[in-house]
Every structure is written in structure tokens, then in C-alpha cells.
Structure 1
Amino acid sequence: GPSHWGEQYNSCAGKHQSPININSLDVKKVNLPPLALVGFDVAPKETNLTNNGHTVVVTMDSEVTPTVSGGPLSGVYEYSQLHFHWGDNDTFGSEDMIDNHRFPMELHVVFFKQEYKSAKSALNYPDGLTVLAFFFEISPDDSPMYEEFIELLNNVTESHQSARFDTPPALQDLIADDLVHYYTYNGSLTTPPCSEVVTWIDFKEPILLSHAQVQAFRALQDEHNTPLTHNFRPVQPLGDRVVLYNTDELIKEVDLEKDLPPAVEEQDLDTNRIDASASESSASKTATKRPSSQENGATSIQTHRTLPMVMVVMAVLAVAAARRTAC
């Protein structure tokens, strides 16, 4: 089991492992560039769903392979696959926890850095992978976006069975709407070899499914023909890592008033603030479900200092006096 993984795989006993319990009161709030999602709105030519005995994996064959960049990422990351984690009831199932709360299910959309050519080779680099993670909550109503998905689960109840979508969904149809508010941290794969190569992006807004829809996942069987449930790893120590929380709220990075003399403090200072209009406009137009029109926004920071006129005059007089002395 997971408690013995470190005996076979050194990385599984590392200091930057996943999943973790995120304390929302102990995160650093940031305004990162908007996530740029390309191809998320394009329906693939073919989408296959496979029960691999550990989870349900979705692979896509698309003319436009989805990519993600921006946010905390350096470079462009290409879609590899998506899969799910769930428990045997609605009280747990997710891997990461928020404020000691587990969700009934979690979706992982896995991407590898394009310059590394494949997900396998990306495991050799500390920035090799990113995972867009979405939590699920129980809703009284079925999700229409997941209807065909849930129906296909009936065709893959046994391990190593696969099924093909009649109408392949675009990736954006399987994820949440709000792509602005998220937690992000550096972590690992949650299964062996537990490589510490993952930039995790955990979105705050959950996806809603009915109890019956989540129950369909619990009807699957593993490779031993027993119920496929509880396929999530226990949380790991946070250690020295800092979790960032991306928001579109105004953040004052530096309070210049603390460092300026009293005469300057009395002036009307526009201290070091993130320009709200630029930040909110970029976030609302780019990190939404219209990924094809997204652009990386830049944060506009404006700093103004107004010196009292008397100080300027004194400086001019001092320079003039110095010149007379020199002559």
C-alpha cells in the first residue's frame, strides 16, 4: 500500500510529495498572469475511456491538442490524459484536501511540458508536468455535461475495458467555469514513482454531479474484480513549501508609506498597487471557457511619489550655492 511505496521508490519518501491538505488561511495571495488555454473548446475527433484497474482514463485524438500556459507555468504544456479519484461514499474521495475537507471525487487533467516531447520524458525534469485539478461536489440534479460519460462507464465496469464516445466532448465541457481562483504548489505524482515534477493547480470552484452519477464510478471493478474505490493517496506533509492562491482581488504588495518621511506621507500617494481595471479585465476575458481567445495579461503596476515643493526649492538652492563656492 501507499505507506510502503517509499521502500521501492525513493521519490515516494521525498519532501515535496502530493497530495496535501491546503490551509486556506495559510496561503500567499497572488495575482498571476491569466491561464492561456488553447484547444479546450475543440471537440476531439475521437475520445476513448478506459478502466485501467486503478482509475478511469480519458485519452483524446484531436486536430488541435489542448495546451495550457500562463499562471504559475513557465512554457507551454500539452494535454496527455485525464483521470479521476473517488471514495466509496460522498464524504471522501479527493486527493488534495482544503481545510481538512475531502471532496467525494477529484478530476486530474494531466499536461506535459511541450519541450520535453512526451509525458514519460517529462518525468526527468522538475517542471515536467502540470495537473489541473477539479473537485466534485454532490448536486441534487444530474450534470447534463457528464451524461454520456456516465453512460459509458457501464461499458467499462471490468478492468482493462475501453469504450469510445459517440459525441466526443470538448475538454472545457468536463471542467469548471471559474479558472481564475485556484491554489497552486509544487508537488509530485500521487502514485509510484511519485516523481516530484508536478505543478499542481487546484481550482476552487467544484464541478457538480448527482449522487447517482458519482455512484456510477463506484460500480467499477479493479483488476482483482473487487470494487474500484478509495483510489486516492493519503495526504503528505507540506514541509517547507508555500501554497499560492490566485485571485483577481486587488493586492497591495508594498506599503510605501511605511518607508517614506513624514513630509511625503502627508501627500496624496498612489502606493504600489496592482491596477484593478487591468487585472480584472484580463482575468474575466482570458481565464474563462473561451480559451481560444485568451492572451497572457500583464500586471500593470503604478507608483507615484510627490515631493513637497519646498524640498525641491531647497535642493536647487543648495546646488547653486555649491557652484558659487567652487568658483
Structure 2
Amino acid sequence: MHNSSRWGLGVMLQFLLLAALGIAHLQAKIRLSEAYLNAISADDAAEQASGSYNYDQQGRDWEGLCQDGQQQSPIPLTYNEAIVTGIPRIHFYNYDQNLESPLVLTNNGHTANMVLPPTQNGQRAYINGGLLPGSFEAQSVHFHWGSANSKGSEHSINFQRYDVEMHIVHKNIRYAHQTVAEASAYWDGLAVLGVMFRAVDRAFSQNTGLLRIFNRLPLIIPYQANTTVAGRLTAGQLLGNIITGEFYSYNGSLTTPDCAESVTWTVFKDVAELPRRQIMKLWNLQESRMRPLINNYRALQDINDRPIYYRALQ
């Protein structure tokens, strides 16, 4: 009786949390772990705490640290102005392990966002190396894109912008018991991997993991809509087959309010390719004002004499 009551209470609590997140309709089909639900809830709370903002002026009208900060992102990345150095490569751990399934993909009005759970072995995918001040666990992935008439990457590489930029957000394991928002209060709290996507006209792609995510985009067109991505997916599949040994790295900020200056950026030089018809699905999403969610990238920020490092293949 005691165990049965605990199970029933657990189901009820999960349903209430799902309802609060707007995903109660998924309960009949799926079971999400309590830890994953809590992570989704924390991510949603952080999104709500960031306030009402849009990309009408590409972030130029955002206030506070977004306006006054000296280590803001994104920035232009150029080989000629970078410090070419033999820093270590980025090391990936559990990136080849299947994540807990299913995953929840959400249109939060600013991007298509997916909180990443631990892997099926119970451990998180994590990284270290490069300029990272420690080891950082993967927390979420989201995208920035343009429109039919404009590129949408946030960083530029050698004066070139790309169709889409993917961000894989990581949290320093020093702050394992704090949320991503709480960790962002520390200078070494977060690390983000930036990956550029180029739209190509061919119909197929070898990046089956990303395609499975993009194939679900038509299900999250309305603001706050969500869906699940079932089956086997690893964090490594997000990277596809890009060369991870060449990258730019610098200290910067989140590219959305509150623009906390707590991010060690690693932006890979290599560019992933995705069929144009897949990237076009992003343009159909809607933001909170029921307008098309397009051009959701922040304008380039001043470097302010920050050192930018470049790791070449060795």
C-alpha cells in the first residue's frame, strides 16, 4: 500500500508539472523522469525570468548588461586577429552514449530549444580541454537562424555568416547542484559550443540525429508548442561529422537577456551542411506575438580588446 501510494503521488506530481509546462497532453504517451522534468521546469523559469524581448532590432534595444557589458557576444571571429596557439583540443565524454528518451523539443518564442537529459548510463555528456576552466556538462541545445532573405548565424567567421548557428549549452560541474541560470552568475559558470550550418540544395543528409530533430519542427510552430523526439540520440550526433580540432575560443556572454558574461565560447571553424528544405522549417515557427520567428540572432558586439584564440589542426 505504501509503495502504491508513493507511485500514485509521483504520477500526480508529474502530471501537475507537465501541465504547468504545457506538456500534459504528452503524459498519455510518454514517461519523463522527475530529474528531466525538473530540468525542463528550470529552463522554462529562466526563459520567463529573462522578460519580454524580441529580435526586432537584433538586440540593440536590450537593456542592462546587454547594453553596458564589456564582454558581450556574439563577436566577429577572424583568423588574422586571433592568437594562434597550441591550446588543447576539446575532449568529449559520453557524447557517444544514447541520451535518455524521449526528449522534449519546445518553441519558447525565441528559439527551438531542447533540454538535454543524462545518458542512458546515468551520466551526463560533458566536455573539457580547450580554454575551458574545468569540465562542463551538456544542458541544452538551441538554434539561431535567418529567413529566406538573410543569414542567421550569430558569430561571423572571417567576415562570413551562415544560415544557422547551433548552441550546445554546458554548465560547469562545480555548480552541478545549481540551475543553468544560477551558474550564469559565476564567471566560469557556462560553456557554449557554437556550430555553423550551411543550407545545401541536396535532398538528403548524413546527419540523421539533427534530421530527426528538424523533422519535428512542424509540430512546434505555435508559440509554446512542444513535442517529443523519440528513439536513440546522442549528443555527438548534434555535431555531425564536423572537424572539432579547429576552433575559435574567447570569454563572452549569453546572446540573450540577461546577457550574463559567464560563457567560455568554443566556435568550430568547420561548417555542417543541412538540406535547405530542413532549414526552411525553422522559418515557420511563431514567436509570442504570433509573428514569424525569423532572424532570431543578436547583432555583433564590440570585442573590446579581448583576446580571441584560434586552435589549428595539429
User: Normalised by the shorter chain, which TM-score bucket?
Assistant: 0.7 to 0.9
Indicate which of 102, 108, 125 corresponds to 2:161. Answer: 102
In percent, how many aligned pairs have the same letter? Answer: 30
> What's the TM-score once normalised by structure 1's chain length?
0.72
SS of 2:221 mapped into structure 1: coil
| Amino acid paired to 1:178 | I
SS of 2:61 mapped into structure 1: helix
SS of 1:193 mapped into structure 2: coil
Instruction: Tell me how far apart the structure 2 counterparts of residues 218 and 208 of structure 1 sit (CA, whole Å).
Output: 17
Task: Answer yes or no: is the 8 Å Cα contact 1:31–1:248 preserved in 2.
Answer: no
Task: Answer yes or no: is the 8 Å Cα contact 1:218–1:227 preserved in 2.
Answer: yes
- Matching of residue 248 in structure 1 with residue 310 in structure 2: no
Indicate which of 218, 231, 244 corresponds to 1:179. Answer: 244
Measure how far apart 1:184 and its partner are: 0.5
- Matching of residue 22 in structure 1 with residue 87 in structure 2: no
Quick one: structure 1 residues 90 and 168, their matched pair in 2 at CA, closer, same or farther if it must change by over 3 Å? farther
Quick one: structure 1 residues 10 and 60, their matched pair in 2 at CA, closer, same or farther if it must change by over 3 Å? closer
In structure 2, the residue matched to 1:126 is 187
Q: Which runs of 4+ in 1 moved over 3 A?
A: none
In structure 2, the residue matched to 1:167 is 231
Task: Answer yes or no: is the 8 Å Cα contact 1:90–1:103 preserved in 2.
Answer: no
In structure 2, the residue matched to 1:151 is 215
Gaps of 5+ in 2: 1-56
Task: Answer yes or no: is the 8 Å Cα contact 2:144–2:166 preserved in 1.
Answer: yes
SS of 2:268 mapped into structure 1: strand
Counterpart mapping for 1:2-13 below 5 A:
2-6=59-63, 9-13=64-68
In structure 1, the residue matched to 2:200 is 139
Task: Answer yes or no: is the 8 Å Cα contact 2:215–2:278 preserved in 1.
Answer: no
Gaps of 5+ in 1: 250-327
Counterpart mapping for 1:285-324 below 5 A:
none
| Amino acid paired to 2:108 | N
Quick one: structure 1 residues 151 and 195, their matched pair in 2 at CA, closer, same or farther if it must change by over 3 Å? same
Deviates further, 192-201 or 88-97:
88-97
Measure how far apart 1:11 and its partner are: 4.8
Instruction: Tell me how far apart the structure 2 counterparts of residues 217 and 167 of structure 1 sit (CA, whole Å).
Output: 22
User: RMSD of the alignment, in Å?
Assistant: 1.5
Task: Answer yes or no: is the 8 Å Cα contact 1:85–1:107 preserved in 2.
Answer: yes
- Matching of residue 61 in structure 1 with residue 120 in structure 2: no
Task: Answer yes or no: is the 8 Å Cα contact 2:83–2:308 preserved in 1.
Answer: yes
Which of structures 1 and 2 has the bigger CA Rg?
1
Instruction: Tell me how far apart the structure 1 counterparts of residues 255 and 284 of structure 2 sit (CA, whole Å).
Output: 23
Counterpart mapping for 1:267-278 below 5 A:
none
Give the number of equivalent residue pairs: 247
